Chain A
Amino acid sequence: MDNPGEITERLVALRDGDKAALNHLVPLVYDRLRALAHARLAGRPPGSSLDTTALVHEAYLKLVDQSRAEYRDRAHFFAVAATAMRQIVVDRARRRGAAKRGGEFRLASISVDAVGAEARAEEILAVHEALGRLASIDERLVKMVELRFFAGLSIEEAGEVLGIDARTVNRDWRMARALLYRELTGGPSSPDGAPA
């Protein structure tokens, strides 16, 4: 399961219309991505950033046999990686949450910065949960948030994955963000009657 071949195989199969390949791809990418994240964080101080953007790109280069990959494969891979990344980031955030709730009494080692991180972790979890609700309304927006927020892809890259132009990405992204913002903050202010 370590060679880049397996993931590449699945990507090629997916390209050729085998939708089932996707089901095998998700856990595969998740495992490998998590291993990469783990390797990346090993030897760094605790609390270091994952740098999801770099991680996803690095993963593509390492896990996919570039000599066999085609343009669409990159898009497919990023789509899958974004979902996996969301899981990884949410897991990390959950672990922080668990630490904070004192499950293992690790409170004493939390620094000032870590408290900020804790709140960030809660924000991530809140976004994740809100996405669960958003999924029943508009799956594409969920994918968009996975790509932009969880995998840290640029507008252009997200467009590549979804097969839409940058302007549409930008608008969809703003729609998703506005929905989530309102969902998470309970805002914005109730209409004051003044026309915009």
Chain B
Amino acid sequence: MSRLPDADRWRTLAPLLREALALEPGDRAGFLDRACASDPRLREDIEALLRADQEAAGLSFLGAPADVPPPEDDNDEARSVLDAPGGSGSPRAGGSAAGRAIGPYRLVREIGRGGMGVVYEAEQQSPRRPVALKVILGGRHVDPVAVRMFQRESESLARLRHPSIAAIYESGATVDGEHFFAMELVQGTTLSQHLEAEGPPRTREALRRRLALFRKIAAAVAYAHQRGVIHRDLKPSNILVLPEKLTSAPHPSGSGPYDEAPDVKVLDFGLARITGEDAEATALTAFGRVQGTLPFMSPEQVRGRRDEIDVRTDVYSLGVLLHRMVSGQPPYDLDGADLPEAARIICEQPPRPLRPAPGARFRFDHDLAVISRKALEKEPVRRYQTVAALDEDLGRYLAGQPIQARPPSTAYQLRLLVRRHTAPFVAAGLVLLLVVAFALFAAFQARRIAAERDRARREAATASQVSLFLQRLFDQSHPNNAMGRDLTARQMLDLGTERIDRELADQPDVQATLMQTMGSSYLGLGLYAQAAPLLERAVALRSRIYGAEARETLAAMNDLAMNLHLQGRAAEAEVMYRRTYEGRRKTDGDDDPDTLIPLEGLAWVYAAQGRVQEQEAALRRILEGRERTLGPEDRGTLMARSELGAVLSNTGRSSDAEPLLRQALDGQKRVMGVDHPNTLGTMLELADLEEHSGRMREAEALFLDMLERMKRVLGPDHPMTLSARNDYATLLDQLHRWPEAQAILEDNLARRRRVLGDDHTDTLSSLDNLANIYSVQHLYARAEPLQKEALERDRRLLGDHHPLTLSLLYNLGCTAALRGDRNTALDWLTQAVDNGWTRGNQMADDEDLTTLRGDPRFRALVERANAAAPAASGGHS
């Protein structure tokens, strides 16, 4: 949500803000008292912006010219910046800080330093007490978002009162923009030092003590979670172990295993990355940044998924801690791995099995390994859902009771195995899809085998060849065969394509089958450009082997048609769909489900070309056929109903459309679930219908729900997600919420350019829509280049005389006229008329062209247009 004021508000606000900025900070309150006496909200706004100005300056926000920065040593940067704000010489020399005051604190000495901040021992004046003062360094490497997040939490932090949590007294910022945090000064050794000194447990007794120590930490974290504070950066250097002599106050949990262990203090709740020991292992910056210290970071943190961080993130870090505390080893070997490699390991590799340290005189029970494994699950939903649950399971384990955690299922492990051989984060689905596609293919073949004997033998042979080939492909991705590195799914497919050519030249039938399988896998992922050559070759090969109208050929041809269609090449798609359709009608009959599939494709093509009547006829045919052969609840039937509803809705027959869409949606929800792409598609149509019927609130609610689901299920770049966002922007446009619509359309255009290419019709419609949003906001300088780009493409793709080209020329004329550039406006309009624009009267009446009306050249142009119009000459006197 934007926090920018609207234009009206800004007109009031700007002069006052400008004046306030000119004043000394001390004089501003008085000025605002006078200026905003009648409007407290205005004052609040100005004060917020003054604070933003101060914070932005302190953090050097926008301080360096924009560019992607060169690889340089961040730490050096941070240090040099540190020298500036305090003005008291280099704080590197510990002594020089002494005596300097920060807020109400007098510094005593420097006690620690990390990538982002310095920790001082300091003295608070009132109440007089020693404190640990952390100061975040100024400069552009400080993440304003992190500071904001922390300050939002500081209130809850102040309420944390627990013997195992170091209390936070205050947080604030100096006038120089230095942020500081005052907290309880604790004497103790860090847990890392403690673990180092004690070594890993080698006896059962030592293990019990270690687990007791861990449970104290877990109890502190669980307490904080109950109060809504997530630590985000749990690691041994953030945990202090108190000397035994200080262990006096009884622990709230009473007696029991806790008594065996020394007391602890967990530091830096919510204050991720202030005292990092290994700053260089963590990249720190503004958005989607990486927080925490790498080995203790959860997969969601490594991926920068800020919105996914919750209590289960701490569960994970505690899992790492547990692993290290009981076995002496971290769960992953990250030594020598660079950051992407380490990230990949954390996100994909299973943790190494829990083993006692060398020389230990015991073995771990299966249960402890299961507990550790469950805390370290990659997916938060599979972890312990709370730290308390983890702690309780450890309690059960120590008491010899059955634990709640279960080892992961085989299916899940299999999935992990597959994932390990795929590209980081992205392509996991591709291999699965390939496997699924193959399984479907095999099942399909099996059905055929039962039906036709002769062919069966040949196809069985093909199927087993295919199976073998895929098997070998998977083997190839095994680390032993890939020179120590995993292959990405994409590399695997590329390798596969290459090998299809090389190794199967003498088996064209197998070649064709594999090409189709892989082609449709790419197609399913929206990688149309990759799919195209494979499918084309599959069609060609099969035509040669089986004949142009054989089932096999038609199957590949249908995929090819779909791919062409999705690439926006409608005319070519139509030819392919029609050939498939006619071929199947001959072999399978009119109502056969296989026959109706290419007809459905034809319906899409008609839709893309605006051939509404043909589209409607095709859809009615499909619905009829499917209801007869498949029944009303079949997915395909539901789909046809939904699409027919969409056509009716889009041609203004809302009352006929609505029952069809609602029936389809109900059925789809029941049969396929709410998150199924088809269900979401119907939802989109219904949202559009609500919008067109003027029920904006209902429409917006549907849009928001649906967009959320689409982003999750299909991904933010999926063509359907983008279409839905585009429609939502249209709704916002109608509600005159232009800046919101603009932001969505700008993002959509960028995504469509990337995903679909510059020439795709959807990309072009994004250009148009965005240009319109700019124009309506009078941002002509922005609208114009987009219109010109659209014009250039339409000219090339559709020709000079196409109605779309003409209307773009006309729009460009309007934009220029609105800008007050009459010559350019006339220029564009002349071009429009020259190429066949005949709506002279519209031109004469168009409000956008008001500035041209006095111009004789414009009047001549209007007449010329009207004269060229066949009907207008008689109709208008």
Q: Are B68 and A136 in contact (CB-based, < 8 A)?
A: no
- Judging by beta carbons under 8 Å apart, are A137 and B66 in contact? no
Q: Is A133 touching B148 in the complex (CB atoms < 8 A)?
A: no
Contact B48 A191 (CB under 8 A): yes
Which residues does chain B contribute within 8 Å of A61, judged by CB atoms?
A: none
Judge whether B823 is part of the interface by a CB distance below 8 angstroms.
yes
Q: Mark A38-75, 1 if CB is under 8 A from B, else 0.
A: 00000001011111110000000000000000000000
Determine if B2 and A183 form an interchain contact, defined as CB atoms under 8 angstroms apart. yes
Per-residue 0/1 for B4-34: is the Cβ within 8 Å of any A Cβ (1 yes, 0 no)? 1111001000100110011001001100100
A23, A92, A122, A188: which contacts B784 (Cβ < 8 A)?
A23
Chain B residue at minimal CB-CB distance from A109: B340
Shortest CB distance A11–B (Å)? 18
Measured CA separation A190–B6 after assembly (Å): 19
* Inter-subunit contact B338/A171 (CB<8 Å): no
A45 vs B70: C-alpha distance in the bound complex, in angstroms? 9
Q: Complex: how many Å from CA A148 to CA B66?
A: 9
Contact of B3 among A51, A122, A152, A182 (CB under 8 A): A182
A133 touches B17 (CB 8 A): no
CB distance from B472 to the nearest CB of A (A): 22
Looking at the assembled complex, report how far the CB atom of A168 sits from the nearest CB atom of chain B, in whole angstroms: 8
Decide: A127 and B66 in contact? CB cutoff 8 A: yes
A120 to B287, CA, bound (A): 8
Interface residues of A in 107-161 (CB under 8 A from B): 107-124, 126-127, 129-130, 132-139, 145, 148-152
Q: Is the CB of A47 within 8 A of B750?
A: no
Contact with A along B31-72 (1 / 0, CB 8 A): 010000000000010011111110111000110011111111
Inter-subunit contact A137/B4 (CB<8 Å): yes
Is A7 interfacial (CB 8 A cutoff)?
A: no
B739 interface hit (Cβ, 8 Å): yes
Q: Are B144 and A149 in contact (CB under 8 A)?
A: no
- Measured between beta carbons, the chain A residues less than 8 angstroms from B4 are 130, 133-134, 137, 179, 183
Q: Does A1 contact B (CB under 8 A)?
A: no
Q: List A contacts of B3 (CB < 8 A).
A: 182-183, 186
Question: A35 at the A/B interface (Cβ < 8 Å)?
Answer: no
> B781 → chain A, closest Cβ, in Å?
8
Known: A115-B283, A174-B21. Contact between A53 and B65, CB under 8 A?
yes
Contact A178 B49 (CB under 8 A): yes
Cβ B285 vs Cβ A120 within 8 A: yes
B424 touches A107 (CB 8 A): yes
**With known contacts A116-B285, A129-B743, A134-B4, A89–B67 Cβ distance under 8 A:** yes
| Docked-complex contact A171 and B49, CB < 8 angstroms | no
B125 within 8 Å of A (CB atoms): no
Give bound CA distance, A25 to B727, whole Å. Answer: 34
Judged by a CB distance under 8 angstroms, whether B288 is at the interface is yes
Interface size on B, residues (CB 8 A): 84
Q: Does A26 contact B (CB under 8 A)?
A: yes
Please, how many angstroms separate the alpha-carbon atoms of A130 and B148 in the complex?
18
Is B488 part of the binding interface, using a Cβ–Cβ cutoff of 8 Å?
Answer: yes
Is A177 in the interface zone, CB < 8 Å from B?
Answer: yes
Known: A119-B287, A188-B55. A177 touches B61 (CB 8 A): yes
* A52 lies within 8 A of B67 (CB): yes
CA distance A92 to B67 in the complex (A): 8
Tell me which residues across on chain B come within 8 A of A15, comparing CB atoms.
none
Q: Which residues of A contact B782 (CB under 8 A)?
A: 135
Contacts of A137 in B (CB 8 A): 4-7, 10
Given A127-B66, A152-B65, A94 and B52 contact (CB-CB distance below 8 Å):
no
Asked if B824 lies at the interface with its beta carbon under 8 angstroms from chain A, I say: yes
**B436 CB–A CB distance under 8 Å:** no
* B residues in contact with A111, CB < 8 Å: 71, 338-340
Residue B441, interface by CB 8 Å: no
Interchain nearest-CB distance for B804 vs A (Å): 22
**In whole angstroms, what is the CA distance A180 to B4 when docked?**
8
Cα distance, A41 to B28, chains bound together (Å) = 47
**One of B62, B286, B338 near A145 (C-beta < 8 A):** B62
Verify B754–A175 contact, CB threshold 8 A. no
Q: Is B184 an interface residue (CB 8 A)?
A: no
A95 — nearest CB in chain B belongs to which residue?
A: B68
Contact B72 A188 (CB under 8 A): no
- Once bound together, how far apart are the Cα atoms of A115 and B281, in whole Å? 11
CA distance A66 to B22 in the complex (A): 38
Whether B148 contacts A19 by the Cβ 8 Å rule is: no
Nearest A residue to B824 via CB reads A20
Min Cβ gap B497→A in Å is 15
A-B contact pairs, 8 of them (CB 8 A): A89-B67, A101-B426, A115-B339, A137-B7, A177-B56, A181-B61, A182-B52, A189-B51
Which B residues are within 8 Å of any A CB, using their own CB? Answer: 2-7, 10, 14, 17-18, 21-22, 25, 28-29, 32, 44, 47-53, 55-57, 61-62, 65-72, 74, 144-145, 148, 151-152, 280-281, 283-290, 304, 338-341, 344, 423-427, 488, 490-491, 717, 738-739, 742-743, 746-747, 750, 754, 777, 779, 782, 784-785, 821, 823-824
Given contacts A110-B340, A179-B4, A183-B3, 6 further A-B contacts (CB under 8 A): A103-B754, A112-B281, A175-B21, A178-B53, A182-B49, A189-B152
Listed from nearest, the 10 A-B pairs whose CB atoms lie closest are A152-B65, A119-B285, A113-B71, A102-B426, A115-B283, A181-B56, A178-B52, A178-B53, A49-B70, A187-B148
